Structure 1
Amino acid sequence: MRADAFLAAASELPQRDLRAIVPSGGIVVVAPHPDDESLGCGALLAEASARGIPVRLVVVSDGVGSHPCSPSHPPGRLRALREAETLAAAACLGLPAAHVAFLRLPDRFVPAEGPRAEAAAEAIAAAARACGAGALFVTWEHDPHGDHRASAALARKARDLLAGVPLYAYPVWGWTLPPETEVGPSPRGARLAVAPHRDAKAAAIGAHRSQTTALIADDPQGFRLEPAMIARFLRDDEIFLQIDP
């Protein structure tokens, strides 16, 4: 199925209550980079927190690839900044800092195979066991970013360690795919309403100031989320695609 048709169909998936998507247990969100959790799952995290559902956030990469040439923010300082931003974003969504794990794999070079990938999958599985997870959520395997695809592979490995825990994918950069890209069969899954938590989600996205403002102004190659991209994620729904075993 072409990406344009797939994403259009995904936008028409049935809107469900959170407990219709995850009938029991906790939730683990796997974010390739600091900010993906707020963009793709901000309402999910806020709704789970508001309902007292156990939640864990696992951030896969160290995030230092966003501004690789900044003199003011060399890798160590940038990593610390992005982790602090993530904790601030998590607080906006009701998630305690103790429930956020940073795996610190190399941004832009997250491995999908090998010993570091296996260790990362085990860390995700451990987070799932800690909250009695009823589902895992990770970026879509067709997102046009290597770290997003690798994180999807890590989540699949973690699911294999967990004996049947459902896995869902949330598109982030998938919305930018060329329309003719083939992405497989028709989507299955559900949508979750953003409206009850739009303000919290907007605050969480805004907490990632290094990604949304000119906070780091000395790197001409630096990344910045465009307002139109942010607006997309504050629309009506978050989309969660069911991933088959």
Structure 2
Amino acid sequence: MTRALFHHDRPGTSAAAWDAAVASLPGLALPDAPGRLVVVAAHPDDETLGAGGLVRTAYAAGWRVEVVSATHGERSHPGSPTHTPDRLAAVRAVELHRAVDLLAPGAPATVLGLPDGAVAEHEDELVAALVEVVGTHGDDVVLVAPWRGDGHPDHEAAGRAAAVAASRTDARLWEYPVWWWHWGDPSALPSAGTLRLDLGPDAVAAKSAAVQAHGSQVRPLSDAPGDEVLLGPGLLAHFARHAEVWFTGDAAPDAAPDAAPDDALDRVHRERADPWDVDSWYERRKRAVTLAALPGEHYRSGLEVGCSVGALAVDLAGRCDRLLAVDASPAAVEAARSRAAGTGGSALTVRLAQVPDEWPDGQFDLVCVSEVGYFLSPRRLDAVVERCAASLTARGHLVLCHWRHQPVGWPLAGPAVHDAFLAAGFPVLVEHQEPDFLLHVLGRPG
């Protein structure tokens, strides 16, 4: 999609120009069973303009609603002679709580305080905050955020962060446009995954009142130059219609092809040659404990899931006729191949693969899942548990080793990863616990 430079105070696409395109969209309905609606805003007022009708509709249907604004929106009037950024931040925080209370009385609203205009520089912080809000029960959550193709840098960054958080937690992601109504073209409305939520009279009225609650944006701060109204009648007309438009599923990638995937682990490996300090005493000792815990002296065929830079893979290969090590990070795979080549051994093969979707074929009498389970969403972890059970030979061994603390930005910790395997019926052959890591060697279920 071609991005357009736009100005809020210059004419854009009128609300009437969108009517036919919006009316032609298929309808959207909330899931039947009430769950949690987590609403992400880049600035206070996004949650009302783009999602206010959904918030009211969900609240009326018994959903639990929570709003998270990345910034205070303190730079909305950079030339104001009457309001410093700090004062405007305080005003907009009050307006946010007032608007949310009109839409969903009692719903919590949090402002993270990231810098207005620089959300893209703090995406990892926003991802971590959203993952913490969603938690480990993402199946019950609809996470809504500004559209990744909205044309405003903060909106697009908030949308990308929400997309990553949804992927890590299994939450359902819906995206809403705000500024695209102003600069976009109705003929470019994505066809796949774009839906219309029809709003009842109560939702329309609540949204209208919530819009007015954002007084610093819909009315002038004063009569002085620099305090002009930010959202005038022409812009607000886009949000007065009795329907909201949502991008779900295929709509977001089609509309924003440059939106980055969750490349956090690959970035870690690109930025540091040894991101986990694998040659430290802690890591070397942990690998020695892992090797000592293996009941078998030698294995015919092994699989390591999430090999990172290959330190453990090289050690395991010494106990296997052949070992396949996989990782989803191209940088990690390159590092692991270099390490393997330096050992001179031929038993180890390193391959790029995203688990569980690209699970290797074949049966293995040794499978190792080490320090990677908490980088999976709960649903993907369950699938990995199933793949391990199906891939392990009758007398095979499954090795689990994980840090016991909570990784920032991910919903699961090491003990929860091990619990998922234990709950699936893998018999315990070896258990080793230390303050910082947990080790299990398991047999095949049944």
- TM-score, normalised to structure 1, is 0.85
- Distance in structure 1 (CA, Å) of the matches to 2:167 and 2:136: 16
CA RMSD of aligned residues (A): 2.9
Amino acid at match of 2:164: K
**Deviation per residue, 1:134-159 (Å, 9 max, x gap):** 21111111112111111111111211
- CA separation of 1:95/1:8 partners in 2, compared to 1, >3 Å: closer, same or farther? same
1:117-196 equivalent positions in 2, closer than 5 A = 117-129=123-135, 133-162=140-169, 164-179=170-185, 186-196=191-201
8 Å contact from structure 2 (residues 220, 228) kept in 1:
no
**Quick one: which of 87, 95, 103 aligns to 1:93?**
103
- Distance in structure 1 (CA, Å) of the matches to 2:136 and 2:207: 25
**Quick one: which of 32, 55, 61 aligns to 2:65?**
55
- Distance in structure 2 (CA, Å) of the matches to 1:2 and 1:147: 18
- Distance in structure 2 (CA, Å) of the matches to 1:235 and 1:86: 21
Q: 3-state SS of the aligned residue for 1:155? A: helix
8 Å contact from structure 1 (residues 49, 55) kept in 2:
yes
**Quick one: which of 80, 89, 92 aligns to 1:82?**
92
How many angstroms does 1:117 deviate by? 1.8
- Distance in structure 1 (CA, Å) of the matches to 2:115 and 2:207: 26
- CA separation of 1:195/1:228 partners in 2, compared to 1, >3 Å: closer, same or farther? farther
- Distance in structure 2 (CA, Å) of the matches to 1:229 and 1:124: 29
- CA separation of 1:157/1:17 partners in 2, compared to 1, >3 Å: closer, same or farther? closer
- Distance in structure 1 (CA, Å) of the matches to 2:213 and 2:227: 21
Residue 68 of structure 1 corresponds to which residue in structure 2?
A: 78
8 Å contact from structure 2 (residues 163, 173) kept in 1:
yes
**Deviation per residue, 1:200-243 (Å, 9 max, x gap):** 10000000000001234434275510112212211121111114
**Quick one: which of 42, 47, 55 aligns to 1:45?**
55
- Distance in structure 1 (CA, Å) of the matches to 2:23 and 2:113: 33
1 or 2 for the larger relative contact order (CA 8 Å, sep ≥6)? 1
- Distance in structure 1 (CA, Å) of the matches to 2:217 and 2:149: 22
How many angstroms does 1:42 deviate by? 0.7
- CA separation of 1:194/1:181 partners in 2, compared to 1, >3 Å: closer, same or farther? closer
Q: 3-state SS of the aligned residue for 1:30? A: strand
Report whether the alignment pairs 1:13 with 2:25. Answer: yes
Gaps of 5+ in 2: 4-12, 254-446
8 Å contact from structure 2 (residues 219, 229) kept in 1:
no
**Deviation per residue, 1:29-54 (Å, 9 max, x gap):** 11111101111111111111122201
8 Å contact from structure 1 (residues 2, 181) kept in 2:
no
Once the two structures are aligned, what percentage of the paired residues are identical?
Answer: 36
- Distance in structure 1 (CA, Å) of the matches to 2:164 and 2:88: 29
Determine which structure has the larger helix proportion and give its number: 1
**Deviation per residue, 1:142-196 (Å, 9 max, x gap):** 112111111111111211220x22211111111123539978x633142212233
How many angstroms does 1:83 deviate by? 0.5
Report how many residues are paired: 237
- CA separation of 1:155/1:217 partners in 2, compared to 1, >3 Å: closer, same or farther? farther
Residue 220 of structure 1 corresponds to which residue in structure 2?
A: 226
Gaps of 5+ in 1: none
8 Å contact from structure 1 (residues 32, 60) kept in 2:
yes
Amino acid at match of 2:208: A
Amino acid at match of 1:186: S
Amino acid at match of 1:59: S
8 Å contact from structure 1 (residues 67, 219) kept in 2:
no
Q: Which moved more, 1:148-157 or 1:122-131?
A: 122-131
8 Å contact from structure 1 (residues 168, 242) kept in 2:
yes
- CA separation of 1:181/1:108 partners in 2, compared to 1, >3 Å: closer, same or farther? farther
Q: 3-state SS of the aligned residue for 1:19? A: coil
Amino acid at match of 1:82: R
**Quick one: which of 103, 114, 117 aligns to 2:112?**
103
Amino acid at match of 1:46: R
